[in-house]
Amino acid sequence: MKGSTLIPTVLAAALMLGLTGMAWSKLAVPRLSIGDAESGKIYGTWPGVEQFSIEFVHSVHQSRVSECFQVEGNRIRPIATRFFAFGAGMQAELAEGQQMSRDGDALVITGFTQSFQELNYIVGTVSDHILYIHREKEKSEPISLRDRCGKNAHIVVRISRTGFAGLY
């Protein structure tokens, strides 16, 4: 009799832990962090991030590029790239499902399906890389990555989920 009550008790405990884990992951707050790619030193973290963008001036053709991202779980999915000239390192062909449109003088690519665990950048020495955190009903203030991380810093951008909403 003792063995027969142990199995339902263990199953109930496992079910409770599983449900608690699922609830935790749903309530956990997405946190964007930027760190040094080699040392792991954290330059900054921002809780509650669901969308963000990084803007920079392309080093070859000297025009502004804006890359906008959506947070999906612990992954980062590009949602739009806005640029003014084709050139070295710029996307020249569309993948399946992608669309290119014009917004004034800018070219905008949307329809990205691939997502990433992290993004890697080398912060500009001549022109800055600027981070914008997009939140509802809040104006996004520019965050200079050159001021925060240093010129020519090799940085990694990641998303993690920690804590409950309101507990930072």
Looking at residue 76, what is its pLDDT? Answer: 97
Looking at residue 123, what is its pLDDT? Answer: 94
Tell me, yes or no, whether 61 lies in a domain. Answer: yes
Looking at residue 23, what is its pLDDT? Answer: 46
Task: With CA atoms as reference, report the closest residue to 63 among 127, 130, 131, 110.
Answer: 127
Residue 21's region, left for phi above 0, alpha for psi from -120 to 50, else beta, is: alpha
Sheet holding 28-36, edge to edge: 42-47, 28-36, 154-164, 118-122
Domain that holds residue 112: 30-164
Tell me, yes or no, whether 105 lies in a domain. Answer: yes
List, run by run, the mean pLDDT of 10-residue segments along the chain (168 residues). 56 54 59 94 93 87 89 95 78 84 91 94 91 83 94 95 50
Sign of the dihedral defined by the CA atoms of residues 82, 85, 88, 94, in that order = positive
Tell me, yes or no, whether 92 lies in a domain. Answer: yes
Task: With CA atoms as reference, report the closest residue to 145 among 122, 167, 161, 119.
Answer: 122
Residue 17, CA distances (Å) to 12, 20, 74 in order: 9, 5, 21
| Whole-number Å distance between alpha carbons of 82 and 78 | 11
First-to-final CA distance of the chain: 47
Q: What angle do CA 98, 103, 105 make, to 5 degrees?
A: 115
Looking at residue 58, what is its pLDDT? Answer: 75
Looking at residue 5, what is its pLDDT? Answer: 58
Tell me, yes or no, whether 117 lies in a domain. Answer: yes
Number of domains composing the chain: 1
Indicate the SS3 state at residue 38.
coil
Tell me, yes or no, whether 2 lies in a domain. Answer: no
Looking at residue 168, what is its pLDDT? Answer: 34
